[in-house]
Chains A and B, each alone.
Chain A
Amino acid sequence: MLTDALAQFLAVKRWRNLFLAVGPGEGDRLYAEAIRRAARKFGLRVVADKPWTHDPGAQRTDTGHVSIAAEAARFTQGAPSHDVLVVADEAGFWGDGLAWRTTDPRPVAGTHGLTPTLWARPHELWGATQLQRRFRARANRWMTPRDHAAWLAVRAVGEAATRARSTEPAAVAAYLRGSEFELAGFKGTRLSFRDWDGQLRQPVLLAGPRELVSVSPQPGFQHQFSELDTLGTDKPETRCRFR
């Protein structure tokens, strides 16, 4: 879902040629695979696909910045012509080191740079300011995507209980999965659960550290039932089976 959101944005920008930099972790491998899949789905091309192997070591002290600058320049030198460098670095070890250090001046996206995410600090649309303020007042820190997911989960149960007028787990669960269920989550639209895999249908933010850049689904990506289902695994493609 996240990488689809990014791919839609890149397709709208016509930044179609991607240079994919993949870290050594298992999460990085999966993220990269999702990027490749999203690229196929939205008509983008991965023109370069390279593993990042350099260990940045003590990059914040002494002359570390020199070493990562040299490595980033070497890593991107001689690459086929590309529009954007897409980084898969789930653990955040080296992804921040690539922006501004590439050989060709190219924007960075993926796990770093322009990041598809379910929640972000600069998100203030659709009343999100209120939720950000309430969370900060309680927790003395900014709300992370994981915090927001937890809040949504609790809120979904509360919403289902008030609408079903029941606290019986079976009744609440049935309402949660039913077609009537809709959730307000400060995303500008009603959210609901997909009946094929239980995933929450929701818009995905595209944000940098200080700026909300865009929100996917991008206008123009149409769908027979819900434009939100242009993100993630749709019903005809799913291999998920509820038991």
Chain B
Amino acid sequence: MPLPLTPLRAAALALALAAGPARAELVLVSNEKDNTVTALDGATLRVLRTVPVGERPRGIALSRDGRHLYVCAGDSDRVEVLDLETWQVVRHLPAGSDPELAALHPDGRRLFVANEDDNMVTVVDVERGVVLNEIPVGVEPEGMGISPDGRYVVNTSETTNMAHVIEADTGAVTANVLVGARPRAAVWDADGKRFWVSAEIGGTLTVVETGTWRAAATVSFAVPGVPPEAIQPVGMALSRDGARLFVALGPANRVAVVDTRSLAVERYLLVGQRVWNLALSPDGSRLYTTNGVSNDLSVIDTAGLRVVRSVPVGQAPWGVVVRP
């Protein structure tokens, strides 16, 4: 059972942090084919350990205190709670059938889980380990984006081609926005005024305005020498200042850099094969990408917009998060 972060434990943790050497960030990667999570030291980019988890781990999310990692183990039909101190799976959360991706609400308690083969979004209380709500959405729910104020949860459904805007507190679906074919990720701007949806088969991004829930703009991509069909936007991450959006382009093996004001594509960065998901380092200086076919992680220097390293991880790396 995860212990609540009591003041005493928090103080002990702070002391341990202060007493130890300067702690680098921890990069965590789920390996879909290996049924493992790889942990890397962000400073050296060395693999610290590889931890066995449930079957077909894809989406991963950190607990608010950074102590636990929630791992969607789709073929095991559960979300596992991995303790990042003891490196043991300490708990299973009920999360409905085939959980693919999860996002933690800013309240730190409610985990919103996409059930890929069940057309549901399941809301789980991570402290009590109970299901709070099941929200019917479109076919093959995938992406999960929670607005910065915690009011809305956007879920994309890959086969219905929609972004479903859900009120976090009631579970009511406020709007269904038609986007490009096979939508994947949903990411909110920091001010909560709009969110972005990537469409893997459509090859586009859709920008949706909060309130009107209107598709206000679309962004397209073109890479010289790459067939248009191979440009398949999936994972996204905003730069720390929000001026740039990084977009993984799947089998195009590129990360696109989009100017969030002009919506122009500034650059395409060559990374590993079939780049899936992205995570920014806490200081914003690095972007980590999981490359599902080449089984590695690319590291991008976000200031110079250069790919600086690639690091082998497990088989079919999928999700990535960074803990400060």
Contact = CB atoms under 8 A, between A and B. Distances in A.
Interface of A: 127, 130, 133-134, 159, 162-163, 182-184, 188-190, 226-228
B201 A130 contact: no
A133 to B, nearest CB: 5
A174 to B, nearest CB: 18
Shortest 7 CB-CB distances between A and B: which pairs? Answer: A184-B201, A189-B229, A184-B182, A184-B181, A190-B201, A133-B117, A182-B181
A11 to B, nearest CB: 19
Contacts of A130: 116-117, 140, 158-159
A227 B227 contact: yes
B312 interface: no
B182 A226 contact: no
Majority SS of interface residues in chain A?
helix
Interface residues of B, number: 17
A127 B203 contact: no
Highest count of chain B CB atoms <10 Å: which of A188, A227, A228:
A188
Contact of A190 (B158, B181, B251): B181
Contact of A134 (B117, B203, B251): B117
Contacts of B200: 184
A133 B229 CA distance: 26
A5 B181 CA distance: 25
> Residue among B178, B182, B230 with the most chain A CB within 10 A?
B182
A181 B64 CA distance: 43
Contacts of A227: 227, 229
Given A189-B229, A190-B229, A127 B140 contact: yes
Interface string B210-241: 00000000000000000101100000000000
B155 interface: no
Nearest to B178: A162
A226 B227 CA distance: 8
A140 to B, nearest CB: 16
Given A162-B178, A227-B229, A190 B161 contact: no
